[in-house]
Amino acid sequence: MTRRSPVSASSGAIRRSAAFEQRIRDAFGDFVADAGFPCLAARAMLRAGAAHLHVYGAIGSSVVSDALAADLGQFARHASFSGARLTAFVAIFTGRPPASEQAFERRLWTQLQLLHERDDPAAGWDPAVSADPGDPRFSFSFAGTAFFVVGLHPVSSRLARRFRRPALVFNPHAQFERLRREGRFEGLRSRIRARDLALQGSVNPALSDFGERSEAAQYSGRDTTMGPWRCPFHRRQP
């Protein structure tokens, strides 16, 4: 399910593009496989080949949004979220990285807004979550599927999110609910937070559990607790 960027018709250009994208995917694999990386779920997904990695151009651009919407829609419609194996959709962007955490946060929400504007209205918002980013039960939804989005970029203050390129990880919300029903979520969350504490010396103060505070404040990884924060996302009117 790996997507190739548009290239010229020459076979040499195709080979170079494929090699370039493979280097990016390999770099992401090395990042997650590092012994200190906190997210055990992500490590398990990479080992099992269950993470769907796609490479695009600049985050938040119109052309990229068209391709990302098509790929994420296919993932939402065809991937299985009910089995024992966890999965996620990873979009890695090759454009110029942001200069600050605030700049990345703006690009992240620009990208999610552009995705939403390309969503099929007939799919609707996932009924398991809220479409209001101020609601404690908010999750981003695309193709009728709710996702918890994790932003990565090279200037993140959180070491666990400091990947060399901007990236968005779309984690299906249904998987977290399944883990809760099975009694496995709390233990996994505790182990991940303990590893994050060991890596960083602190747990991200923006973290909260679903239903306590809107998860929108967590997507960029920036500490949004230091002052008033308002999510810039707006749902398209039905």
Angle ∠(220,226,227) on CA atoms, nearest 5: 100
The DSSP line for 191-224 is HHHHHHHHHHSS--TT---TTTS-GGGGTT-S--
Helix (H) or strand (E) holding 40: helix 40-48
pLDDT attached to residue 129: 96
Q: Does residue 202 contact residue 50 with C-beta atoms inside 8 Å? A: no
**pLDDT tens digits, 141-168:** 999 999 999 999 999 999 999 999 999 9
Q: Higher model confidence: residue 202 or residue 110?
A: 110
Residue 109 has pLDDT above 70, yes or no: yes
What single letter denotes the amino acid at residue 226?
M
**pLDDT tens digits, 222-238:** 998 888 899 999 998 76
Phi, psi dihedrals of residue 91, rounded to the nearest 5°: -105, 120
User: What's this model's pTM, rounded to 2 decimal places?
Assistant: 0.90
What single letter denotes the amino acid at residue 60?
G
What single letter denotes the amino acid at residue 201?
G
Q: How many whole angstroms separate alpha carbon 108 and alpha carbon 135?
A: 19
Partnered with residue 150 across adjacent β-strands are 169
Partnered with residue 90 across adjacent β-strands are 53, 169
CA torsion through residues 213, 219, 221, 223, sign:
negative
Q: How many whole angstroms separate alpha carbon 228 and alpha carbon 226?
A: 7
Residue 6 has pLDDT above 70, yes or no: no
pLDDT attached to residue 3: 40
